[in-house]
Structure 1
Amino acid sequence: MTLGIMAGLWGENDSQGDPSMLWTVDLNGWIYEARITIPGQANYHAYPLLPSDALARLVIARFEEWISNLTASELLSYPNALVSMQAAQVKYK
């Protein structure tokens, strides 16, 4: 989830201040959506989005925007970001 958090891939905060949903992209291009299960304890349950899920394109667009705004040195801090994005672009086209 770290990559998704760094990329700002989260939904609105619940009453305890935790994001109600988080998204991340793994090295194989799978996008995972995590929904909060225990508010106040930041406990989430995640599952992969299907390639046909329209939400995937929105997550990829936000992820691409985050990557495009990174400086070269920042991008070095996230070596898997480009690989994950490219794999997701193929999987969810």
Structure 2
Amino acid sequence: MKLLWGLGRLLTLLFVCVVLANQLVPFVRPLHLLVNLAGGLWLLIHVLEALLCNRSLKGRPHPWRDRGRILLFGVFHLQTIPAPAAPEASHA
């Protein structure tokens, strides 16, 4: 499973490089619009993920680094963050 998450991170990084390359040297006519649209949707989704997971990052040692990785890798970084411990139920 770790290999799958690593592959996902690698492909995400490759996608970001393609979007940035498209900004520097635009691709052919119909393709550059689609890449820009996909890059915008990708950014919107990752910003929403970072906002929704903000509370769970409060107790982390480096929350800003985690936010940056969520913006870059999204769910592939979220899978590496351990789930917060559930509060113990009091028995009467």
Give the TM-score taking structure 1 as reference length.
0.32
Structure number with larger C-alpha Rg: 2
Q: Which has the higher strand share?
A: 1
Q: Which has the higher helix share?
A: 2
Give the TM-score taking structure 2 as reference length.
0.32
